[in-house]
Chain A
Amino acid sequence: KNQVEQSPQSLIILEGKNCTLQCNYTVSPFSNLRWYKQDTGRGPVSLTIMTFSENTKSNGRYTATLDADTKQSSLHITASQLSDSASYICVVKEGTYKYIFGTGTRLKVLA
């Protein structure tokens, strides 16, 4: 069964610190992998989209990595800010039209 697993489930860090979120997937056929940020009660917002051949992609303070061989991805957040407090969701596109969502990592940044 196609699945996307994320760890940790939740994370608390101090403002200014870095953190790394993990995503493992078993999705076939693999099309691409996305990271989204979701604030409570809001729709997800795209951070990065990575295809099979891309290893690293950055978007400001967010850097995503993808290892298609081991089917793992990570999202690194540098110099965290209070506004980074949200859920971060790893999503793998299966085939042409279907998206498999992970359960998310809930990040809390404290002052």
Chain B
Amino acid sequence: EPEVTQTPSHQVTQMGQEVILRCVPISNHLYFYWYRQILGQKVEFLVSFYNNEISEKSEIFDDQFSVERPDGSNFTLKIRSTKLEDSAMYFCASSEDTGSYEQYFGPGTRLTVT
């Protein structure tokens, strides 16, 4: 069964460094999403992406964040200058379409900022 994959599974970085989190969505899906979950808290929507542009973003997704689909398969989240409070689990998700289509989540990347 097709699945969303994410790399790395765990990333440790120093404050102020740039990180890129990578995702490979399911191949025929057109809509892509990033979420974060701070330890012990709820999942929070960051951004949705369709047709090579951001379709919606939350207040969390400020200028430090950017997303890209550099080729036909990868979908990346870049954090330009990491802060301690960026430490969280980051989930990528994809769906075939919008509306009531299922969203499939990847296993997540745990980001630890020291």
Contact = CB atoms under 8 A, between A and B. Distances in A.
B75 interface: no
Interface stretch (A15-23, A62-70, A72-80, A98-106): A98-106
Interface residues of B, number: 28
18 contacts: A31-B99, A41-B89, A41-B108, A43-B4, A43-B91, A44-B43, A46-B102, A89-B42, A96-B56, A97-B56, A98-B48, A98-B56, A98-B58, A99-B33, A100-B45, A101-B42, A101-B43, A103-B41
Interface residues of A, number: 23
A45 B103 CA distance: 8
B108 A49 contact: no
B98 interface: yes
A96 B42 contact: no
